[in-house]
Structure 1
Amino acid sequence: MDSLQAILLALVQGLTEFLPISSSGHLILPSVLLGWPDQGLAFDVAVHVGSLLAIVWFFRGEVFAIAQGSVTTIKTRQLNEHSQLLIFLALATVPAGLSALSFNDFIEAQLRSPLVIATTTLVFALLLLLADKTGARRKSIIEMSLWAAFIIGCAQAIALIPGTSRSGITMTAALLLGFQRDAAARFSFLMSIPIIFLSGAYKGIELLSMPAPAWDLIAIGVVVSAVSAYACVYWFMAVIERMGMLPFVLYRIVLAAILFALFL
């Protein structure tokens, strides 16, 4: 992999990680259309680190408030809205974590085919459209409950199937539960912090037994994915309430059609 390939792959990862359009559906295209080799584990960890830095920095106010609120809860032994949110985020992370430990090998071996990605890209696009059109869109994030967090967490576990889109399926679940678009997006993005961290740490452990990576390409991956992911989240949060999910649904349908055309 050369510098140009690293920039493009990191850019694709950064732009698609948080939008409800399936990053795996996009990352499969360069290898097929351009004949590029797999990006490798080290680069995969690098772009995840970049995405994590972007989302933590964008929500730094919320992250600091959650940390401060949790310290206050420990001192006073009384929950507040910020420590409650931490509990909800932790609960929402459990289903995906357990599912990854239980089914990761099966998913890697059986569910990474282009046709599976094309199918999930299409099916979950239509489900996202249904949620956006039928959801009540009345609840704010402060109305999150343990039950709602658990349901959204179970939806996040489904995103282990390539093509689903982690952000897409969690926003779908939140919308079906009656949350506003902004609240659904915000909770989905905050949920990504622990799951990206855990995923990156798990893959990082595997790297310990491998030869040293090309550090220049790793740096490109971190920087490009961080900048593009931050810009993507900034834009998405600014327009989601008035734009809705339809543009992303239509985009996914087109992407699925391209994948079917290429691989059927």
Structure 2
Amino acid sequence: MSAGACTHGVDTGFIDLGVAKVAALGVVQGITELLPISSTAHMRIVPAVLGWRDPGSAFSAAMQVAALAAVVSYFWSDVRGLVFGSIGALRRRDFKDWNFRFTVWIMLATLPIVIFGVLLSKGLNTCGSSFRSLWVIGTSSIVMSLLLAVAERGCAHKRTLDNVSLKDAMIVGLAQVGALIPGVSRSGSTLTAAMFLDLQRDEAARFSFLLGLPAIFLAGVKEIYELHKAHMPPEGWMILGVGVGVASISAFVAIWSLMRILERFSSWPFVVYRFVIGVVLIAGVATGWLH
């Protein structure tokens, strides 16, 4: 591992890649971060195919800032309604207000991933983490593909976000914990859980994104702080900034595309794609094509 790949125990392999390669990976990261297809899987397979080094887990975690910008901008009307609606409800002491209740549910549903994220933090983003094994990522991709297929095939897809409950939010929040395992995908785990609750496909995606906002924010801020604490050089911050900027744009396009696909079709394209990616990763490792 080169010197630029590990900064005070933090995996910073992206520094060695330089601006152009990080910008290219920013496009891939932005698209795959918010689609239910696992950004981590793509951050391992794309560099491997191109003969580049692994950008490292810190890069993927810091890209949450780009995902946050894309989700907030796309769902701005929802976010604004929840924020100002909750503030207004607090002033009126109207604790039955839907915006206030839903905001509280989101906060409570975020607790599981925060707790498990802290407990597993030392093993998730350190240099050479076994969590980023291609076997783990490939297996996770296949398992999530099968679960999404079951949700697509066996659920009613009739409910809307207006009639969800705290129980629903906590179920999706617990599913979000699975995103700590590389290859599972945060949007994939929460979308799948929401579809198991019989939500309409596009409403399930909307629920997934809104509920994930605190987790996305906390993950991004935590990793930026870790990089700061590790005294990452100015060159690293510049390269990371390019990646975040590019990823923000591609992430917005990804959300728009996902919502159109779920509104007009189904989640089957993602089921098939995830299964193929998982098989490719495992086959690649087994044959020595991927390392």
TM-score interval w.r.t. the shorter chain? over 0.9
Deviation by residue 1:135-194 (Cα, 9 ceiling, x = unmatched): 121210011111111111000001111111111111111111111111110011112221
8 Å CA contact 1:159, 1:166 repeated in 2: yes
Letter in 1 for 2:179: A
Give how far 1:27 is off.
0.5
Q: What residue number does 1:48 align with? A: 64
5 Å-filtered alignment, 1:95-110, equals 95-107=112-124, 109-110=129-130
Instruction: Say which SS state the counterpart of residue 39 (structure 1) adopts.
Output: coil
Give the TM-score normalised by the residue count of structure 2: 0.85
Give how far 1:44 is off.
4.2
Q: What residue number does 2:232 align with? A: 211
C-alpha separation in 1, matches of 2:131 and 2:208: 24
C-alpha separation in 2, matches of 1:96 and 1:230: 24
C-alpha separation in 2, matches of 1:61 and 1:253: 34
The range that moved more, 221-230 or 81-90, is 81-90
Instruction: Say which SS state the counterpart of residue 150 (structure 1) adopts.
Output: helix
% of aligned pairs identical? 38
The range that moved more, 223-232 or 239-248, is 239-248
1:233 matched to 2:255? The reply is yes
Give how far 1:41 is off.
6.8
Alignment gaps of 5+ in structure 1: none
Instruction: Say which SS state the counterpart of residue 63 (structure 2) adopts.
Output: helix
Give how far 1:2 is off.
2.2
Shift in CA distance, 206/123, structure 1 to aligned 2, threshold 3 Å: same
C-alpha separation in 1, matches of 2:132 and 2:56: 16
Alignment gaps of 5+ in structure 2: 1-16, 287-291
C-alpha separation in 2, matches of 1:201 and 1:44: 12
8 Å CA contact 2:62, 2:221 repeated in 1: no
Deviation by residue 1:51-98 (Cα, 9 ceiling, x = unmatched): 211111111111111111111111111131211221121122111111
Give how far 1:222 is off.
1.9
Paired residues, what number? 264
C-alpha separation in 2, matches of 1:107 and 1:208: 18
Q: What residue number does 1:18 align with? A: 34
Aligned with residue 196 of structure 2, among 169, 172, 176: 176
Give the TM-score normalised by the residue count of structure 1: 0.94
Output the aligned Cα RMSD.
Answer: 1.7
The range that moved more, 46-55 or 221-230, is 46-55
The range that moved more, 83-92 or 152-161, is 83-92
